[in-house]
Chains A and B, each alone.
Chain A
């Protein structure tokens, strides 16, 4: 009996379309969210994340519709977020078919939001997303908000610990330095955070080669690894990646 390490494709959506951001800027269309979701469900993804990166309140109805369309395609868990500011925003996302809601900027501005969501929906439904950049000090990262644009002055590990104390059930950790660069996950970052909190840590940012996934599970001690463009563009297929990991002793759920 082993808890499998998870492979999680992420759909960044804007106006009902999947887009790809490189270093959080420069968007490129990657396809229809429901079609991609169906493909990942079939290929053995362990769950799916859908993020609204439009950051416009007008796009809310479109995003909820996207969640509905995506959820229809899945028999695996779905996490949704982007622009969640209130408990009602969270409820709308869950009602639309998500199993978990992810919060970022609003949680930094008002940490009580995490407690409110956890009390209402349970910790297992609350994923706190933290975007970080390395600081000049060693083994230290600062949390950023608003899509990686604004520094918060918060030490990422301390913020993660507070988020967990307030009821976060998972931490989705994105390295802004690595995101979209295809230089591999920041394993030092994920290992530091995995040691700092007693909930699962999902590593994100920089995935490229199969070896990057192996490294983030072994050296990085991540519970799950998230990636977007390398899956969308079919550079890598999930079944082949999982087979690679299984052959190297990483416990993964192989689809049949």
Chain B
């Protein structure tokens, strides 16, 4: 199947593309609303600053087409900043509006731990998960972030803890997200991406 990867002008697109292609998926980079409108499944990749992400979407007029894709049930996977952008706002960019698929604010990790949270960490599964299907409970994923989404809400299917608990995997209907980088998480990450492809079929 074809995966539409949102290209908002930053982000690590090549590694996400490579990981999806290795699993047999076709990929396209979307910079225009029409591409989002006709997407079978969407990946929102992301590294960098929340405001750059939001501005990048706005400049390409992608915000409303992503909201429409969300409403019409198109499977969507947010990665790292892509997950964070699914929330209403972020402490990283006060005043900037996220996609708002989920209520709540993305917050900075606390000062009593090393930040960015960089490296391989484990997650705590809270409820049955499509993305984590077949992934061992003690598996490690690669994280690289300074901000994180609250661990609350029915969409939180797994949490991680770095100073505070935060949402590591979210799932609600067609909306999926991971705070870590599956494309950088070895075989475990590949399994998770394969689960996304299968759930999107």
Mask: chain A, 43-82; 1 = CB below 8 Å from B; 0 = not: 0101100000000000000000000000110011100000
- Stretch touching chain B among A13-21, A30-38, A118-126, A131-139: A118-126
Once the chains bind, are A1 and B115 in contact (CB under 8 Å)? no
B165 → chain A closest CB, angstroms: 9
CA–CA, A108 to B26, complex, Å?
44
Once the chains bind, are A124 and B118 in contact (CB under 8 Å)? yes
Query: Which of A6, A41, A99 is close to B120, meaning CB atoms less than 8 Å apart?
Result: A6
Chain B residues closer than 8 Å to A77, beta-carbon distance: 142, 144, 181, 184
Query: Which of B18, B118, B142 is close to A76, meaning CB atoms less than 8 Å apart?
Result: B142
Instruction: Name A67-107 residues within 8 Å CB distance of B.
Output: 71-72, 75-77, 94-95, 97, 99
B54 → chain A closest CB, angstroms: 14
A198 on interface, CB distance cutoff 8 Å: yes
Once the chains bind, are A97 and B184 in contact (CB under 8 Å)? no
Chain B residues closer than 8 Å to A76, beta-carbon distance: 142, 184-186
CA–CA, A199 to B111, complex, Å?
11
Kindly report which residue of chain A lies nearest to residue B183, judged by CB atoms: A75
A255 on interface, CB distance cutoff 8 Å: yes
Once the chains bind, are A1 and B123 in contact (CB under 8 Å)? yes
Once the chains bind, are B119 and A223 in contact (CB under 8 Å)? yes
Once the chains bind, are B118 and A200 in contact (CB under 8 Å)? yes
Kindly report which residue of chain A lies nearest to residue B143, judged by CB atoms: A3
Once the chains bind, are A253 and B120 in contact (CB under 8 Å)? yes
B184 → chain A closest CB, angstroms: 5
Query: Which of B19, B120, B123, B146 is close to A124, meaning CB atoms less than 8 Å apart?
Result: B146
Kindly report which residue of chain A lies nearest to residue B193, judged by CB atoms: A75
B129 → chain A closest CB, angstroms: 16
Once the chains bind, are A200 and B119 in contact (CB under 8 Å)? yes
Kindly report which residue of chain A lies nearest to residue B145, judged by CB atoms: A124
Kindly report which residue of chain A lies nearest to residue B141, judged by CB atoms: A253
B91 on interface, CB distance cutoff 8 Å: no
A224 on interface, CB distance cutoff 8 Å: yes
B124 on interface, CB distance cutoff 8 Å: yes
Once the chains bind, are B12 and A1 in contact (CB under 8 Å)? no
Once the chains bind, are B49 and A119 in contact (CB under 8 Å)? yes
B174 on interface, CB distance cutoff 8 Å: no
A interface residues, how many (CB within 8 angstroms): 35
Once the chains bind, are A198 and B146 in contact (CB under 8 Å)? no
CA–CA, A6 to B120, complex, Å?
8
B15 on interface, CB distance cutoff 8 Å: yes
Mask: chain B, 163-174; 1 = CB below 8 Å from A; 0 = not: 000000000000
Interface centre among A72, A77, A123, A169 (most CB of B within 10 A): A77
Mask: chain B, 1-25; 1 = CB below 8 Å from A; 0 = not: 0000000001010110011001000
Once the chains bind, are A75 and B184 in contact (CB under 8 Å)? yes
Kindly report which residue of chain B lies nearest to residue A194, judged by CB atoms: B114
B122 on interface, CB distance cutoff 8 Å: yes
Once the chains bind, are B161 and A1 in contact (CB under 8 Å)? yes
Using known A-B contacts A99-B15, A122-B49, A124-B145, determine if residue A75 contacts B119 with beta carbons closer than 8 Å: no
Interface centre among B144, B183, B185 (most CB of A within 10 A): B144
Chain A residues closer than 8 Å to B119, beta-carbon distance: 3-4, 6, 46, 200, 223-224
Using known A-B contacts A169-B116, A198-B115, A200-B114, determine if residue A75 contacts B121 with beta carbons closer than 8 Å: no
Chain A residues closer than 8 Å to B160, beta-carbon distance: 1
Kindly report which residue of chain A lies nearest to residue B188, judged by CB atoms: A256
Q: List 22 A-B contacts (CB under 8 A).
A: A1-B122, A6-B120, A46-B120, A71-B15, A72-B18, A75-B184, A76-B185, A77-B142, A97-B14, A99-B12, A121-B10, A121-B48, A122-B146, A123-B146, A124-B47, A124-B118, A124-B146, A125-B48, A169-B116, A223-B119, A224-B119, A255-B187
A residues within 8 Å of B by Cβ?
1-4, 6, 41, 44, 46-47, 71-72, 75-77, 94-95, 97, 99, 119-125, 169-170, 198-200, 223-224, 253, 255-256
| Besides A44-B186, A120-B48, 9 new A-B residue pairs in contact (Cβ under 8 A), listed by A number | A2-B121, A41-B186, A72-B18, A75-B186, A77-B184, A125-B48, A125-B144, A199-B114, A200-B119
